[in-house]
Amino acid sequence: MAERSFAKEVADLRLGAGQEFRGEGILAITKALLQSGVGYVGGYQGAPISHLMDVLSDAQDVLAELGVHFETSASEAAAGAMLSASVMYPIRGAVTWKSTVGTNVASDALANLASGGVKGGALIIIGEDYGEGSSIMQERSHAFAMKSQIWLLDPRPNLESIVKAVEDGFELSEASNTPVMLEVRIRACHVHGRFIAKDNKPPPFTLAQALENPQRDTGRIVLPPAAFVQEKEKIAQRLPAAIEFIKTRKLNETFDGELADIGIVLQGGLYNGVIRALQQLGLADVWGATRVPLYVMNVTYPLIDSELAAFCSGKSAVLMVEEGQPEFIETALHAILRKAEISTKIYGKDVLPVAGEYTAEALSAGLRAFLAATMPDALPEQIRGRNEPAQPIADEIKALAAVVPPRPPGFCTGCPERPIFAAMKLVEKELGPHHVSADIGCHLFSILPPFNIGATTMGYGLGPASASAFNVKAGKRPIAMIGDGGFWHNGLASGIGNAVFNRHDGVIMVVDNYYSSATGGQDIPSSRADNRSRSTKHPIADAVKGVGASWVRQIDRTYDVAKVRDTLKEALTTNEKGPKIIVASSECMLNKQRRVKPLFNRAVKAGQRMVRERFGVDEDVCSGDHACIRLSGCPSLSVKRTDDPLKDDPVAAVDNSCVGCGNCGEVAEAAVLCPSFYRADIVHNPTTFDRLLARLRGAVIGFLQRHRDRRRIAFS
């Protein structure tokens, strides 16, 4: 069950030549693949391209009509290896994943693919997750492209340019026998626009034809002596072919401007931000007409020396706008101009931020500094007179941060992973703190308050492996976390299999919430729902037993905090040798609400009797020590002031976002906290019996309240 459905939007993928396609970037990419005659598509979900995988999954009928094979890969490595179909056969293939972490996982496959080269077009659609909203380390795909000599496209973020880049990418790949990366940032993935569609093309050479007519060429297999020949071929044949194709097809763009003595060289993906910054400085309009000449690199590797030299020639200064570090392109631009004996001065990281996302504010400040140093008269007078950096919202952000407390990411309301860490805190209180190796996924939020659990995280599915060095005799055992998504990604072999083989004595907690939740709720092998095109319902407990684990405990309701606590305590104290594996299972609440709410609302609308559970806190009973909050951290659990003059502290309160998971009450019971939590059943379309029962309860409660009030001691 994906984060959202594209069932309606995928109908537009059938649009033909001359029709107007409207939608967002990921839909445009999918349409471009079909227009290009792609034969197979694969990939692994992850921001910012999770929705691309969701679109492809929803569009399986359209793909099947064209004879296009689609597959959700087990990992990025599996997706990268799919492209081997384009090595021996003239079949166009595309794969997609989140970069740079996904590229790291796929690096073996990509390095071999780039070395041997391809016959059919091979396109790698990279979701470049760089910047303020990123969930990963701040690295760029550019280094990998240069290392393996894979050509890197970075189109302007509008639908026409993105679609053209997909089509050009396949042709560039075939013209140079080299795989091509198409880099799309989050703004490109979700930008909305339109373009004129073309007819979809079935693959001219199919996978079935390849199977019926197998081919092999030892020159494309990475083994000596072929590997040494391939290295020379990259430089002597493939690189010149790529450069010639890029120049001939004019993949990079030049935009003229009246201020011809200066210019801006920029990555294509930054075009919108640069235009916006120029607009703020009065040097461009909303339609993109600019007074400053621009050289837009829709291909950021390889660089076209002759085009860069021609653009910079005759200019006194050029600004190089390159997001992130190291400044690969800026350094190369210096070398290109010096070799060509062009004296144009290059500005770049000296006026722009050395690292970090190039927002419109950062670009505006850098552009103004560049213009102030090179052509101050070009700036409007009201801007020219100001000396402070042109960051119009920076002061507002600082002022806001001083008032609004920081809000780090955390578990969703009702998340079934929250009670696991509440149980871990209870065990910690009894047995003391343990070393906890965390993992990538929603459960990584445990490292933040209120749980503060987790010491390291080394990669998706690598939680158990990152605890392997602690396989030593000591008074305490290490604990390793891993999610179900990471488990099937690579954790079964690198984590569980490795622990069994090396006789680890630690504890491994597998968090099973039925989906790859952190990437958008996609199905995985252990998902418990039916999937029309995938095989699901494969229990994780069976898989770990299959690789030799013997101490395995299955918990089918993580909200049972006492059971999770007792099972974890048993794992940490048992005398049994070998890895102790706990599979803690409950459905992701976010996906459950997406699934259940429409059904519930439909039933209520149809007049059926439906009951919704809600939890609350009796403020007369609540002592105000807030231990429940410290052991839960649920967003629906907050505090409020009370009118009771004998209570100095605010009491706990449950707001309307509560989904009735019951974790608050379970934690209160397991931690022996005050019994202030109560459950209320909200009945929709009540029956006559429900109404009579409600009146009876109201009468009894009212009588008891009046009786208590009569006995209350009051002071005048």
pLDDT in the model for residue 79: 97
What pLDDT sits at residue 4? 73
> Was domain 610-685 assigned CATH 3.40.50.12500?
no
Residue 330, both tokens: 């800026």
277: helix, coil or strand?
helix
How far apart (Å, rounded) are the C-alpha atoms in residues 703 and 65?
A: 70
The SS3 call for residue 207 is helix
Model's pTM, two decimal places? 0.90
Q: Taking the C-alpha atoms of 603, 607, 611 and 615 in order, what is their torsion angle to the nearest 10 degrees? A: 90
User: Is it true that the peptide bond before 598 is cis, omega within 30 degrees of 0?
Assistant: no
What pLDDT shows up at residue 28?
A: 97
When mean pLDDT is compared across 62-76, 268-282, 447-461, 646-660, the lowest value belongs to 646-660
Return d(Cα 156, Cα 518) in angstroms, integer: 29
The rounded distance, in Å, linking the Cα atoms of 558 and 156 is: 46
CA dist 82 and 84 (Å) reads 5
| Contact in structure between 440 and 45 (CB atoms under 8 Å) | no
Q: Is 628 left (phi over 0), alpha (psi -120 to 50) or beta?
A: alpha
The CA distance from 8 to 31, in Å, is 14
Q: Is the pLDDT of residue 402 over 80?
A: no
Q: Rounded distance, CA 237 to CA 234, Å?
A: 6
- Residue 345's closest CA among 379, 318, 377, 313? 318
Nearby residues of 660 by Cβ (< 8 Å), 6 or more positions away: 414, 612, 613, 614, 615, 679
pLDDT of res. 58: 92
The kind and range of the H/E element at 405 are none
- Find the DSSP H helices in 281-385: 305-312, 328-339, 360-374, 381-384
**Cβ-proximal residues to 596 (8 Å cutoff; 6+ apart), any chain:** none
For residues 544-573, give the mean pLDDT.
97
Task: Grade residue 545 by pLDDT with cuts at 50, 70 and 90.
Answer: very high
Average pLDDT over residues 50-73: 94
Contact 617, 652 (CB under 8 A): yes
Q: What is the mean pLDDT of residues 126-144?
A: 87
Distance CA 523, CA 588 (A): 12
**Domain 253-402, CATH number (from 3.40.50.720, 3.40.190.10, 3.40.50.920, 3.30.420.10):** 3.40.50.920
CA–CA distance, 639 with 625 (Å, rounded to integer) = 11
Per-residue pLDDT averaged across 482-490, rounded? Answer: 95
Peptide bond before residue 449 is cis, with ω within 30 degrees of 0: no
At 419, is the pLDDT very low, low, confident or very high (cuts 50, 70, 90)? very high
Residues 338, 332: Cα–Cα separation, whole Å? 10
pLDDT of the residue at 389: 47
- Partnered with residue 595 across adjacent β-strands are none
Name the amino acid, one letter, at 251. L
Q: What is the pLDDT of residue 122?
A: 98
- Binning pLDDT at 50, 70 and 90, where does residue 716 land? low
Q: Is 6 helix (H, G, I), strand (E, B) or coil?
A: coil
Q: Which two tokens stand for residue 670?
A: 């397991």
**Residues 314-342, mean pLDDT to the nearest whole number:** 96
Peptide bond into 290 cis (omega under 30): no
| pLDDT (average), residues 541-570 | 97
pLDDT band at residue 676 using 50, 70 and 90 as cut-offs: confident
CA distance 652 to 355: 43
Quote the longest CA-to-CA distance of the chain: 101
395 pLDDT more than 80: no
Domain ranges, ordered by start, for the chain:
17-248, 253-402, 418-591, 610-685
Q: Give the mean pLDDT of 388-408.
A: 64
352 backbone dihedrals φ, ψ, rounded to 5°:
-105, 160
Note the pLDDT of residue 390.
43
Partnered with residue 687 across adjacent β-strands are: none
First-to-last alpha carbon distance for the chain, in angstroms, is: 62
- CB within 8 Å of 258: residues ≥ 6 apart: 291
- CA–CA dist 146, 301 (Å, integer): 7
Q: Which residue blocks in 417-560 are alpha helix, DSSP H?
A: 418-431, 484-486, 498-501, 540-546
Residue 632 has pLDDT above 50, yes or no: yes
Q: Give the residue-averaged pLDDT of 65-86.
A: 96
Phi, psi of 706, rounded to the nearest 5 degrees: -65, -40
- Domain 17-248 and domain 418-591, same fold? Reply is yes
Q: Are strands 345-347 and 253-255 parallel, antiparallel or unpaired?
A: unpaired
**CATH number of 17-248, picked from 3.40.630.10, 3.40.225.10, 3.50.50.60, 3.40.50.970:** 3.40.50.970
Locus of tokens 């297999």: 221
Q: For residue range 559-589, list pLDDT tens digits in order.
A: 999 999 999 999 999 999 999 999 999 999 9
pLDDT: is 388 or 502 the higher one? 502
* CATH entry 3.40.50.970 includes domain 418-591: yes
| 300 — pLDDT class (breaks 50, 70, 90) | very high
For residue 391, the model assigns a pLDDT of: 47
Quote the tokens at residue 2: 């994906």
| Mean pLDDT over each residue of the chain, to the nearest integer | 92
pLDDT at 201: 97
pLDDT band, very low/low/confident/very high, at 630 (cuts 50, 70, 90): confident
Q: Which two tokens stand for residue 559?
A: 């909200």
The contacts of residue 312 (CB under 8 Å, 6+ apart) are: 263, 265, 318, 333, 337, 342, 344
Going by pLDDT thresholds of 50, 70 and 90, the confidence category of residue 656 is: confident
pLDDT of 127 over the 70 cut? yes
Tell me the helix, strand and coil percentages in the chain, rounded to 5. 45, 15, 40
pLDDT, average across residues 612-632: 85
Question: Distance between CA 641 and CA 623 in Å, rounded?
Answer: 12
| Contacts of residue 706, Cβ cutoff 8 Å, sequence gap at least 6 | none
pLDDT band at 383 (very low <50, low <70, confident <90, very high): confident
Instruction: Give yes or no for a contact between 516 and 545, defined as CB atoms under 8 angstroms apart.
Output: no
| pLDDT of residue 5 exceeding 80 | no
